[in-house]
Amino acid sequence: MSYLKDFFKKIIIKLLLIRAKSVLKKGSKVCAITGSVGKTTCKEFLTELLELKYDVKSTFKGFNTPIGIMLSILDERESGWSSPLAWIKILFRVYTKRIYVPDVFVFEYGVDQKGDMDELLAIAQPEKVIITHITEVHIADGQFSSLDEILTEKSKIAQNAHIAYIPRGMQIETSGVIEYFNPLGKDQKDGFSFEVDKELYHASFFGNFLASSLAPCVHLALSEGISSNEIQTILSEFKLPKGRGRLLEGVNGAMIWDSSYNASPSATRKMLQTLKNLPYERKIALIGNMNELGPKTAYYHEQVASVADECVDLIFFYGESAEYFKKGIKSKSLEIFKTHEEAVGKLKNILKEGDIILIKGSQNKVRLEKVVKKLLKNPEDSVNLARQGEAWDKI
């Protein structure tokens, strides 16, 4: 049975690749983004900028795997998951329908282990690439063993690109041009600012570390003849992707800083440090398990806990690494939740006006968007949360 599933999967991938390649041959430019954090924010912002000048198609939702990239090229918004019948229907559609071919494709390339980038580049070799930030993610068994391995794999994206936009201080090999950007912005009361070519740009949301996702998009847009005024206009109206730092109104007048889509140690530390300086009376954090950290799971959970201990007033944790996290708490009390319902019940009782709560955790077995949903002031705001819809409700 396993052999048949693997054989069927190979046939699906081959047929999708043939059709996707036939679409790409029609001459669209390809821009691609990789990195450890901030890829989707970068993809969404770059898409909005390039739409000022071109017809653009970007990867749908979290479709950053080889199959996801091919489905995006072929205008398919849902995977067939494990259903052979669903895949047969998808294949029938992509070989019979007329597929829209844009001026520019903007792809997000997700890399979890060695060889992943090779598979992605076999589909589409980008002309312009962005590497947002490389940090400690995907280091569980069977994935990466070091930061150098992660950089080596992800930087393959730039080897044959015409130009690569990378954070200042990063070293990569490429046959094209390298343009460096400053990966950090400056916090302000109503967001943060960052500089590109001596021009200051202002984002109306929190997190100066997001400059590593926004600044390279500005560089690329300027190279395409888009003006700084046009860029600032788009940035002023830009909304972060769902579950990646949106501010939402919560119960009892509190504000929710929703970063429930995923969590890495680096991103979690930076958000906690930003939280410390936000203009709210009381800072609260609900941190969820950070997955795929392998032998460093204990170390990174304790490290993040020590940052939380310094930066926030109340600390809560959800997930199987609670005992590791607990070791990093020295001066504050810590409450550990075993269920989403337990977290919701407690937080509804303590949240009040003047509070802001950061909610951040990984996906598998964590899913803290379920807590966010129950803490919203307006239930209809659940459309702004990650992983909503019938398919996710079953998981």
Q: Which residues of 84-108 are buried (b: 16+ CB within 10 A; e: fewer)?
A: eeebeebbeebeeeebeebebbbbb
Residue 393 has pLDDT above 80, yes or no: no
What does the chain come to in residues?
395
Amino acid in position 166 = I
pLDDT value, residue 142 = 85
Q: What are the boundaries of each domain within the chain?
A: 10-237, 246-386
pLDDT one-digit tens code per residue, 293-329: 999 999 999 999 999 999 999 999 999 999 999 999 9
CATH number of 10-237: 3.40.1190.10
246-386 has which CATH code?
A: 3.90.190.20
| Contact partners, residue 107, CB within 8 Å, separation at least 6 | 30, 31, 32, 33, 43, 58, 59, 64, 69, 72, 120, 124, 126
Q: What is the pLDDT of residues 193-243, one digit of tens each?
A: 999 999 999 999 999 999 999 999 999 999 999 999 999 999 999 999 999
Q: Quick one: pLDDT at residue 9?
A: 86
pLDDT surpasses 80 at 390: no
Query: Fold match between 10-237 and 246-386?
Result: no
Residue 47 CA to residue 342 CA, distance in Å, equals 39
- Which region holds residue 257: left if phi is over 0, alpha if psi is between -120 and 50, else beta? beta
Res 2 pLDDT > 80? no
The 3-state secondary structure of the chain reads: CHHHHHHHHHHHHHHHHHHHHHHHCCCCEEEEEECCCCHHHHHHHHHHHHCCCCCEEECCCCCCCHHHHHHHHCCCCCCCCCCHHHHHHHHHHHHHCCCCCCCEEEEECCCCCCCHHHHHHHHCCCCEEEECCCCCCCCCCCCCCCHHHHHHHHHHHHCCCCEEEEECCCCCCCCCEEEEECCCCEEECCEEEEEECCEEEEECCCCHHHHHHHHHHHHHHHHCCCCHHHHHHHHHHCCCCCCCCEEEEEHHHCEEEEECCCCCHHHHHHHHHHHHCCCCCEEEEEEECCCCCHHHHHHHHHHHHHHHHHHCCEEEEECCCHHHHHCCCCCCCEEEECCHHHHHHHHHHHCCCCEEEEEECCCCCCCCHHHHHHHECCHHHHHHCCCCCHHHHCC
CA distance 92 to 274: 49
Read off the pLDDT of residues 33-88 as tens digits, 9 standing for 90 and up: 999 999 999 999 999 999 999 999 999 988 999 999 999 999 999 998 888 899 99
Strands 177-181 and 199-203: unpaired
Mean pLDDT of the chain: 95
Tens digit of pLDDT for each residue in 94-134? 999 999 999 999 999 999 999 999 999 999 999 999 999 99
Please give the model's pTM, rounded to 2 decimal places.
0.93
Please give the Cα distance from 133 to 119 (Å, whole number): 21
For residues 338-348, give the mean pLDDT.
98
- pLDDT at residue number 299: 97
pLDDT digits (tens, 9 = 90+) for 241-289: 999 999 999 999 999 999 999 999 999 999 999 999 999 999 999 999 9
Question: Using 50, 70 and 90 to split pLDDT, how confident is the model at 192?
Answer: very high
pLDDT-derived band at 141 (thresholds 50, 70, 90) equals: confident
Determine the pLDDT at residue 82. 82
Q: Is residue 358 scored above 70 in pLDDT? A: yes
**Residues 6+ away with beta carbon under 8 Å from 276:** 283, 310, 311, 312
